[in-house]
Amino acid sequence: MEGYRVLEIKQSVFENNDREADKLREQLKQEKTFLLNLMSSPGSGKTTTLKATIAALKDEFRIGVMEADIDSDVDAATIEKTGAKVIQLHTGGMCHLDAGMTKQGLIGLGTQDIDFAILENIGNLVCPAEFDTGAVKNAMILSVPEGHDKPLKYPLMFSICDVLLINKIDVLPYFDFDIEECKKYVLRLNPNMKIIPICARTGEGIDEFAQWLREQITAWNA
Amino acid sequence: MEGYRVLEIKQSVFENNDREADKLREQLKQEKTFLLNLMSSPGSGKTTTLKATIAALKDEFRIGVMEADIDSDVDAATIEKTGAKVIQLHTGGMCHLDAGMTKQGLIGLGTQDIDFAILENIGNLVCPAEFDTGAVKNAMILSVPEGHDKPLKYPLMFSICDVLLINKIDVLPYFDFDIEECKKYVLRLNPNMKIIPICARTGEGIDEFAQWLREQITAWNA
């Protein structure tokens, strides 16, 4: 039997998502729970990155993961093996999560024993960027095979994130991906973006991401 | 000066998208214009595939391309070099195109001298699957780096398409992508899906896709 629950989340009824998101952040601050919202295209390596990141931080923080998917449990089953607390959220076709939906997920997950909660958002570079989930920080992954021109095509996503992981750098020799060009595009949209090249599969760069997270979580939960 | 126009398309006002899509198909039938709707994740290789496909078919059909993007002209500039007629559609943040928006694009493109029109949809595996654009056939690309589990996670997209191009097969040695497993997942959702492995960059498999298109276009425009 699987050790994770599956929660069918409903479209939220709040008209003012930004206000709901602010309220959720206040609540997380009081509860000393840091929430990271992780976004990317389908297949950029969100789940593999989470596995490596959980391995790096699980002895320091109590970690809980919300795996949002339209209709499968593949990722929850993978994350469960890391030992982190995990819940699968089914969005029923919805292409993003807003603050109300994230709150349903957090209630389902139970945050009273969680220092570091992670929302693995739907694989989509468009819609999730438009909705504040109530997360403390927004992270995104761009993988090398997707191409370095993506900041030009999905500018909002690159504008609202705090950290960008450039994943699958092990396959750089096989793709026309110019990291410096990519950084230039990103920093033009978002001068404060922290950019970390990684390879989630081999673990390269995960230490730097873990260190960034450590600082954010410690500051928030202080 | 660029040879393509940029059209800011507006959200359509029609309540019944399915009816609008059917009306658009009827009109395309009368005009002897075949419309293909091409969908995929960001960075799967839609534009590169189109370039190779246009090169294979441009001596047989008069081709017109609508490049839908949230906010850039990168793809229209690329396609223009093929000699095909091209228009850039800006969706102003919208994550998909519906039939009304597609119709605006077709009017902007001008279909009176086009046998084969192509809509390059927004890079997104979720929302575009939910809206009938009025296209005669739906095509999608899944690229090897995205992983063979995507049919499990984005089932609607794989259910509504007529042809699936598995792109970037040149990098199969560097990724854990099981083509047979992928086909099994896809055919379970959609037993009629035509599946063609390709490498858009080298042109591998493009002949088979061009032949499939040739048959569809000829039948529709007869």
CB count in 10 Å sphere of residue B201: 17
> Which residues in chain A touch residue B168, judged by CB atoms under 8 angstroms apart?
145
Q: What gap in Å lies between CA A29 and CA B19, rounded to an integer?
A: 49
Instruction: Specify the DSSP element, H or E, that contains A78.
Output: helix A74-80
Q: How far is A177 from chain B (nearest CA, A)?
A: 11
Predicted local distance difference test score (pLDDT) of residue B56: 98
Q: How far is B16 from chain A (nearest CA, A)?
A: 19
**Residues of the domain holding B166:** 11-221
Contact: B171, A145; criterion CB under 8 Å: yes
Contact: B71, A122; criterion CB under 8 Å: no
Tokens, residue B221: 């425009």
Contact: B125, A42; criterion CB under 8 Å: yes
Predicted local distance difference test score (pLDDT) of residue A197: 98
Is B5 inside any structural domain?
A: no
Inform me whether the C-beta atom of residue A174 falls under 8 Å from chain B C-beta atoms. Answer: yes
Contact: B127, A69; criterion CB under 8 Å: no
Query: For chain B, how many residues are written?
Result: 222
The residue written with tokens 């081709």 in the block is B63
Contact: B154, A74; criterion CB under 8 Å: no
From first to last of the 222 residues of chain A, give the pLDDT tens digit. Answer: 456 777 777 766 667 999 999 999 999 999 999 999 999 999 999 999 999 999 999 999 999 999 998 878 889 999 999 999 999 999 877 889 999 999 999 999 999 999 999 999 999 999 999 999 999 999 999 999 999 999 999 999 999 999 999 999 999 999 999 999 999 999 999 999 999 999 999 999 999 999 999 999 999 999
CATH value at residue A60: 3.40.50.300
Inform me whether the C-beta atom of residue B108 falls under 8 Å from chain A C-beta atoms. Answer: no
Phi, psi of B41 (to 5 degrees): -65, 165
**How far is CA A9 from each of CA A57, A105, A112, B215, rounded to the nearest angstrom?**
28, 7, 20, 44
Bridge partner residues of B40 (DSSP):
B141
Is A5 inside any structural domain?
A: no
Q: What angle do CA A41, A46, A52 make, to 5 degrees?
A: 160
Predicted local distance difference test score (pLDDT) of residue A1: 41
From first to last of the 222 residues of chain B, give the pLDDT tens digit. Answer: 456 777 777 766 667 999 999 999 999 999 999 999 999 999 999 999 999 999 999 999 999 999 998 878 889 999 999 999 999 998 877 889 999 999 999 999 999 999 999 999 999 999 999 999 999 999 999 999 999 999 999 999 999 999 999 999 999 999 999 999 999 999 999 999 999 999 999 999 999 999 999 999 999 999
| Closest by Cα among B115, B177, B113 to B149 | B177
Is A190 inside any structural domain?
A: yes
Question: Number of structural domains, chain B?
Answer: 1
Q: What gap in Å lies between CA B183 and CA B179, rounded to an integer?
A: 6
B84: exposed, middle or buried (Cβ count in 10 Å: 0-12, 13-18, 19+):
buried
ipTM of the shown complex: 0.88
Q: What gap in Å lies between CA A39 and CA A36, rounded to an integer?
A: 10
Bridge partner residues of B139 (DSSP):
B38, B163
Contact: A168, B145; criterion CB under 8 Å: yes
Contact (Cβ atoms closer than 8 angstroms) between residue A143 and residue A44: yes
Q: Tell me the one-letter amino acid at A58.
A: K
Tokens, residue B145: 């780096």
Chain B residue closest in CA terms to A127:
B95
Q: How far is B122 from chain A (nearest CA, A)?
A: 9
The 3-state DSSP class for residue A185 equals: helix
Inform me whether the C-beta atom of residue B126 falls under 8 Å from chain A C-beta atoms. Answer: yes
Tokens, residue A60: 């320091």
Instruction: Specify the DSSP element, H or E, that contains B35.
Output: strand B34-40
Identify which of B43, B70, B149 has the shortest CB distance to residue A147.
B43
Predicted local distance difference test score (pLDDT) of residue B14: 65
The residue written with tokens 């928006």 in the block is B101
DSSP state letter for A4: S
Contact: A150, B122; criterion CB under 8 Å: no
The residue written with tokens 């993003």 in the block is A96
Chain B residue closest in CA terms to A146:
B43
Chain B residue closest in CA terms to A170:
B174
Is B4 inside any structural domain?
A: no
Inform me whether the C-beta atom of residue B82 falls under 8 Å from chain A C-beta atoms. Answer: no
DSSP state letter for A73: -
Chain B residue closest in CA terms to A174:
B171
Q: What gap in Å lies between CA B166 and CA B40, rounded to an integer?
A: 11
Contact (Cβ atoms closer than 8 angstroms) between residue A192 and residue A162: yes
Is A6 inside any structural domain?
A: no
Chain B residue closest in CA terms to A67:
B153
Strand positions, DSSP E, A3-96: 5-8, 34-40, 63-69, 85-90
Contact: A71, B149; criterion CB under 8 Å: no
Contact: A153, B126; criterion CB under 8 Å: no
> Which residues in chain A touch residue B95, judged by CB atoms under 8 angstroms apart?
95, 124, 126-127
H helices within chain B, ranges in order? 17-31, 46-57, 74-80, 99-109, 150-153, 155-160, 179-189, 206-221
Q: What angle do CA B50, B51, B57 make, to 5 degrees?
A: 80
For the stretch B169-195, pLDDT in tens is: 999 999 999 999 999 999 999 999 999
Q: What is the DSSP string of B106-123?
A: HHHH--TT-SEEEEE--S
Inform me whether the C-beta atom of residue B155 falls under 8 Å from chain A C-beta atoms. Answer: yes
DSSP state letter for B29: H
Residues 6 or more apart from A61 whose CB is under 8 A from it?
Answer: A115, A116, A217
Inform me whether the C-beta atom of residue A92 falls under 8 Å from chain B C-beta atoms. Answer: no
Bridge partner residues of B165 (DSSP):
B141, B196
Q: What gap in Å lies between CA B157 and CA A214, rounded to an integer?
A: 38
Predicted local distance difference test score (pLDDT) of residue B1: 41
Bridge partner residues of B88 (DSSP):
B6, B67
Maximum distance among all Cα pairs of chain B, rounded to whole angstroms: 49
